Chain A
Amino acid sequence: MTPLLQVRGIEKRYGARIGCADVDFDLYPGEVMGIVGESGSGKSTLLNCLAGHLKPDAGQVIFDTRADGPVDTVTMSEPARRMLGRTDWAFVHQHARDGLRMNVSAGGNIGERLMAVGARHYGDIRARAVDWLDRVEIAENRVDDRPSAFSGGMQQRLQIARNLVTEPRLVFMDEPTGGLDVSVQARLLDLLRGLVRQMGLSALIVTHDLAVVRLLADRLMVMKDGHVVESGLTDQVLDDPQHAYTQLLVSSVLQV
């Protein structure tokens, strides 16, 4: 099986300071990988380099495109990368307002992404928007409301609907449950798990919450000072951590 994503030697510096360095991994179709570490560990820098939001100083991010097979997305043209960002890739921001257009209706937020890939028939677009609102448990009668009238949990679910409506194959998530109430987090986790299974999605999830990765991720990568210090099966890394930093991280939480 060809990996969906092959990451080789990714490095990003901010002047003399290392954002992240020497990051290598393969992600296969259907796999969910968590990236954990404390703030400043480089996990968000890495995610942004992988998703094309930041240009890495070195390394390759090879994505298995539908049309042309594996292509290095770091060196591909900007329009091609943007197209990937609208089709096969999706990015779920920690703050829903960074991923939504707050002055456009919920239906419009979902429809916009469909229109960006060529959908034109109003009835179809609205029907798909309503279908996706239902899948993320937002009532149909909210389709014309703006996200600013939604709760935080609803905004996050809307952001997920907007991202997944084009049926991407790879989803980047930056602290998707951060800033939400615990009960709202649980519902979102269940939703994400179901969608990952039903759609066969691959996902990269950056979080500092070990309980979230325990429930959501198959594999785990632990970062410290811009470097990956440990990686492996999620329960193996959490139950039998090998690196000093991971041992500290795991022993510092109440229960995971």
Chain B
Amino acid sequence: MSISGEKKSAMIDLSGVAKSFVLHNQGGAVIPVMAGAGLRVAPGECVALTGASGAGKSTLMRMIYGNYRANAGRILVGGTDVARAEPRDIIALRREVLGYVSQFLRVVPRVPTLDVVAEPLLALGVDEEKARVRAAELLARLNIPERLWSLSPTTFSGGEQQRVNIARGFAHDYPALLLDEPTASLDPVNRAVVLELIEAAKARGAAIVGIFHDDAARARVCDREADVSAFTPQAAA
């Protein structure tokens, strides 16, 4: 493998990534969903994953995050190969380097919104007061009314939950970020705030991989597109 300067400069670097699902309880059916996937994202760059629904955008993103297992290939994030790393190394990577804004908010019920957003910072050992100040700043910026901060987000509307999720994902300045439809279900004002947050993250050098169904948003924040249909395995005859 080459260790040229260019190679070293990618924050996220995938090559030869393959994935198939084996459905043991459906007769052991093997479903190949991806082969030969490659992607390189430099610091400060935002790359959009594109392709029709079912082409594997979310699958590829989950393999980068490590909650889907890759069957082959390398998935380097900040030098850690997520496809091979021990759980504790992936946990450390997610704490310090790799952020993920999914479409679903998964939290312990009854925990106040402010604490939900501050949690990634507390996990990093940031002082509680500082973490809450940062959380409050993000919630205010994303127009979550202050009277809701002490309540659990589990009862919030879809759009509010999405904004809490975004606040949580941007609480720490991750060097690498995965965004799964970050502007879905947002009104124009909040959509604009999220796009500003993404631009600010790029400006400080974050490498971002995103899925955007919102064409205008994609055009505004993404530097290029990677069509995952190119990684669809040849259908067996």
Contacts and interface: CB of A to CB of B under 8 A. Distances in A.
A and B together in one complex: yes
* Residues of A in contact with B, size category: 20 to 34
B24 A233 contact: no
B99 interface: no
Chain A facing B: main interface SS: helix
Given A197-B122, A236-B68, A247 B108 contact: no
Contact of A236 (B22, B67, B109): B67
A250 B208 CA distance: 31
Contacts of B106: 214-215
B62 A233 contact: no
A245 to B, nearest CB: 8
Interface stretch (A36-44, A51-59, A185-193): A185-193
Given A240-B67, A240-B68, A251-B25, A190 B110 contact: yes
B108 A190 contact: yes
A31 B66 CA distance: 17
Contacts of A251: 25
A183 B107 CA distance: 13
Interface string A64-101: 00000000000000000000000000000000000000
B213 interface: no
Given A197-B122, A244-B24, A247-B25, A239 B62 contact: yes
Contact of B108 (A186, A218, A239, A248): A186
Interface in B1-55: 21-25
Contacts of B108: 186, 189-190, 193, 215
Contacts of B24: 243-244, 247-248
Interface string A237-256: 00110111001100100000
A112 interface: no
A218 B67 CA distance: 12
Contact of A183 (B23, B66, B109): B109
A183 B67 CA distance: 28
A235 interface: yes
B220 interface: no
A239 B87 contact: no
Contacts of B25: 244, 247-248, 251
Contacts of A219: 87-88
Contacts of B123: 197
A242 B68 CA distance: 10
B87 A218 contact: yes
B133 interface: no
A242 B107 CA distance: 25
Chain B facing A: main interface SS: loop
* Residues of B in contact with A, size category: 20 to 34
Nearest to A234: B87
A235 B109 contact: no
Contacts of A248: 24-25
A248 B91 CA distance: 26
B110 A235 contact: no
A244 to B, nearest CB: 3
Contacts of A240: 21, 62, 67-69
A221 to B, nearest CB: 11
Nearest to B85: A233
A187 B110 contact: yes
B139 interface: no
Contacts of A190: 108, 110-111
A236 B66 contact: yes
A242 B111 contact: no
B77 interface: no
Contacts of B111: 190
Interface of B: 21-25, 62, 66-69, 87-88, 90-91, 106-111, 122-123
25 contacts: A183-B109, A186-B110, A187-B110, A190-B111, A214-B106, A215-B107, A215-B108, A232-B69, A233-B66, A233-B87, A233-B90, A235-B67, A236-B66, A236-B67, A236-B68, A239-B62, A239-B67, A239-B68, A240-B21, A240-B62, A240-B68, A242-B22, A242-B69, A247-B24, A247-B25
Question: A-B pairs with the 4 shortest C-beta distances?
Answer: A244-B24, A186-B109, A235-B67, A240-B68
